[in-house]
Structure 1
């Protein structure tokens, strides 16, 4: 729910000859060489020769032998403010997600949303956010993370206010789409801000854990307060509160956030760098492909036969062609030493590929679980929004505790152990809800399921961010943040769309005549939870195979 900041060191002989053995590689998007320093044996960031490959499964390709220049330690007061502001911003975003999740049944009735568009206020946000994160991450590396973060907070305030003022379902969906784009300004730049302010080690680990902890806390508060707001003064006020909070964030961040420490030292202006330092062709191809794929999945959710329409077949073929073209384009850019969005050599790295697949699966399962458990409470058990909200209280507590623990031990415990041990409870949570009956007591299954479900997403948040960011040069940390958030947001939108497709089909094919009855809906909801079981088990298998002997992450360099 984030980024890695180790310093990568390569074991190159005696200390006397260290200066001679420093290696260089052009950073993505710049013409300046980046030094590769020593590798710490046992660290997941070690990318040196066969010994490191055997120890951690990491690739030894040249593109992976990049090291971050360690930022100077920030004053304690400034560090506290940065953590507080980034955490608060993340919390606002997830608070609103919780409000929307809780209010969906009421919004559907008030705005007369058709059944095939019920989840669109949730999925459209992730779709547009996921498709623009890489673009915004690239721009953030050029114009500065502070400016992008401020702009994102301001745009979120405007679009969120518009959501609350919506009078039709179409208006709400459109403004939620703009909210997703606004969020893509904030998420990569927040990751970049942390990497700029905090040196590798415990302080950076805690910063990422705090950012991750804001997600379950914000989401849980959104669920609880969303239930209260929806049942009293009306769901639009959830958007109004989030909008006011975003405008306050703009003022606080403009006053307190430090300026970027990784601005270009060249005399070129920003517009020149925007043209030369960003892989515009690559980012356009991959973003367009992701948007088309997400759209097609969303379209077929309400009607599977829609995939046979000529326009949808054409779009699907186009998306595949764009992905293939992106792979060849990035390979060409890498060979020529030009800016490459995500070098192909990164995907040859087993750890990088596996952690991205894990993030995709876990975020899909986490969000699907929360949405369908809410449906279970309100549509099947007939609970009010407030009664349903109270039942979600264990989730933010367990999620926040998980982030605290992981932040404190991530540099001491092997990363694969953390990922595996936090995924197992998530599997159990999905199984519990897949067999739960409406007549069962809350304490019989739903309580434990709520307690266990956030653990995997919050556990992998810190580990994945530390790993992914360590594989990108310091001046492309915005792209690193974009990669993580693109994978997670795409996982969320694709997961919700596929699960809706499965649940709707199972309900329609059930023997129950009244397809809108709680009994028929329950059959579809159970299939949704079994889908979550499949996602979390897939993540568990990948972790056991792909992350074994990865070593520790978040280790401070000497």
Structure 2
């Protein structure tokens, strides 16, 4: 029985050759075994290693530059708007809590529940998009995102805000994986696809920084609600343009009857695997969100019970996926895929980098507001360097990715980003912004943005074309969970250090800063660790995003 595998093989030569095997699932109309499809990447003409994507039928599709621009622009706009809303929430949360009567113990939930809902649905949403069609799922997600954003803007209680933010997370989960399919199925491999992923990645730091700026202005001058109204308008415009600008799905998904869709969902989606993994990750995310509110909250019976269930589901999922793969059946993530050194190392890197990025972003905000006592507008202005460096990192990566080895790009960007927690760990709160905080803020988004482009190119090259929605779900799930873990762990460290230092007669600001320093040192340690993972695990990755005939 053929097994679905992914591995790296090397042989001695003047330059090492790399073989990256992509997984291929049984076609929906056949009961064939899972077959292996190797994409050999080796040195030709004295050039360095390259890792071209698997050529696909959809890669050969030719669309006009206008349609390609519409696809890139709309998916980037949705990503930008979602990140912008997150930035507005972070800067506006204290004011929102007062306006809506949100209790202190639920203060983190408007942000946490969005990530929780999104993380639970990403794998299932990606799989559905593969079956139903990316365009349909993307349009449904964009419309729901518009409605839920309006709902967040008009909510009157803290409970309503939490519920609408959860619904917003579900809507985002429909958009993210389908965006990956729209890019890979309509834009050919090579420079255009690299640029598309770079633009998609640029929406995250750019949108978040804009959200911080707008949130600070609206909180001080008007109302935080206008931020959500603007977000709803932008999303609705992207939705309308997408209706007319995004090409129809391919013939395998277009024009299907409802019964056909249901039948394909039963036979082509690993529903049990999705349920097991999504439930476990969702419970872990919930417990981590509770843990971020204080270590004592974890000892509550509800938290311990849910954590235990999440732990038990992991070995059940592993056993189930191994069995499915052994029998040649559909499996959400083949266990043998983790034997691929590049894939595994890339997933670890994504997990750690997004955890460090989220923690640094959060505690930088607290440093400006709680330690330096800056207003919302002043805090927002200090995040502006992120807009510039984040956008530049994405566009430069889109141009460099097929010219420079991917491991060098990721390693260099990770080294630059490691400067952020180091500077903030030794910062003098009374020092000028231009001495420490400016450089820390400017370096923060670089690795996450470079990694976004590289990781999407690699992951979509490993997964076959008919499961690129699942591939997008895998990437976003790993980054989503990484962010949640990073926030939870650093929040516990900061509060524990602050409580341990309490009673020494220091000021409240000094106690807070001690906790923040410990957090930044932890992030710096994680950054050094990930440099080792990149240097060892990705050293054979070669170049990515190279067009193959």
Contiguous gaps of at least 5 residues in structure 1 = 1-7, 12-22, 44-54, 59-64
Distance in 1 between the 2:368 and 2:284 partners?
31
Equivalent position to 1:138, from 127, 130, 139: 127
Structure 1 window deviating more from structure 2 (458-467 vs 228-237): it is 228-237
Quote the offset at 1:457 in angstroms. 0.3
1:269 aligned counterpart, secondary structure: helix
The whole-number CA distance in structure 1 between the counterparts of 2:516 and 2:158 is 24
Partner of 1:226: 215
The residue aligned with 2:153 is: 164
CA displacement, residues 340-387 of structure 1 (integer Å, 9 cap, x when unaligned) = 100111111111111111111111111211111111111111111111
Aligned equivalent of 1:351: 342
* CA displacement at 1:290 relative to structure 2: 0.5
In the alignment, which residue of structure 2 is the partner of 1:39? 40
Residue aligned with 1:31, SS: coil
Q: In the aligned structure 1, how far is the partner of 2:278 from the partner of 2:499?
A: 34
TM score, norm. by length of structure 2: 0.89
Shift, 1:452, TM fit: 0.5
In structure 2, the CA distance between the partners of 1:310 and 1:229, relative to structure 1 (3 Å rule), is: closer
Structure 1 stretch displaced more, 493-502 or 91-100: 493-502
- Can you list the C-alpha shifts for 1:125-174, whole angstroms capped at 9, x where unaligned? 11211111001001111110001111111111111112122223222222
Map of 1:387 onto structure 2: 378
> Within 5 Å, which residues of 2 pair with 1:297-316?
297-316=288-307
Report the alpha carbon displacement of residue 313 of structure 1 after superposing the two structures with TM.
Answer: 2.7
Q: Matches of 1:515 and 1:281 in 2, distance apart?
A: 54
What secondary structure, in the 3-state scheme, does the structure 2 residue paired with 1:203 have?
helix
Rounded to whole Å, the distance in 2 between the matches of 1:380 and 1:108 is: 20
The equivalences for 1:471-490 within 5 A come to 471-490=462-481
Q: Which residue of 1 aligns with 2:529?
A: 538
Show structure 1 runs of 4+ deviating over 6 A: 8-11, 32-35, 265-268, 513-516
Query: Residues 145 and 403 of structure 1: is their aligned pair in 2 closer, same or farther, counting only changes over 3 Å?
Result: same
Shift of 1:332: 1.4
Match of 1:153 in 2: 142
Residue 99 of structure 1 deviates from its aligned partner by 1.0
1:284 to 275, 289, 292: 275
Per the alignment, residue 71 of structure 2 pairs with 82
Deviation for aligned residue 1:230: 1.4
Alignment correspondent of 1:47: none
Among 416, 436, 447, the alignment partner of 1:425 is 416
Secondary structure, counterpart of 1:39 in structure 2: strand
Q: CA separation of 1:303/1:386 partners in 2, compared to 1, >3 Å: closer, same or farther?
A: closer
Q: Distance in 2 between matches of 1:399 and 1:501?
A: 28
Alignment of 1:111 onto 2:100: yes
**Deviation per residue, 1:506-544 (Å, 9 max, x gap):** 212213578993222222222222232122222211101
- Identify if the C-alpha distance between structure 1 residues 29 and 296 changes in structure 2 by more than 3 Å, giving closer, same or farther: farther
**Aligned partner of 1:246 among 232, 235, 238:** 235
| Counterpart for residue 484 of structure 2 | 493
CA–CA distance in structure 2, aligned partners of residues 488 and 555 of structure 1:
25
Aligned to 2:517: 526
- Residue 111 of structure 2 is matched in structure 1 by 122
Q: How many residues align?
A: 522
User: 2:353 aligns to what?
Assistant: 362
Task: Compute the RMSD of aligned alpha carbons.
Answer: 2.7
CA distance in 2, matches of 1:516, 1:239: 37
Alpha-carbon deviation of 1:443?
0.2
Equivalence for 1:371: 362
- Kept in 1: contact 2:291–2:492 (CA 8 A): yes
Cα distance in 2 for partners of 1:264, 1:158 equals: 26
Q: Which moved more, 1:414-423 or 1:78-87?
A: 78-87
Relative to the length of structure 1, the TM-score reads 0.88
Task: Tell me which of 387, 390, 393 is aligned to 1:399.
Answer: 390
Q: CA deviation at 1:435?
A: 1.7
Separation in structure 1 between the aligned mates of residue 339 and residue 27 of structure 2, nearest angstrom: 17
Residues 113 and 29 of structure 1: CA distance in aligned 2, closer, same or farther (over 3 Å)? farther
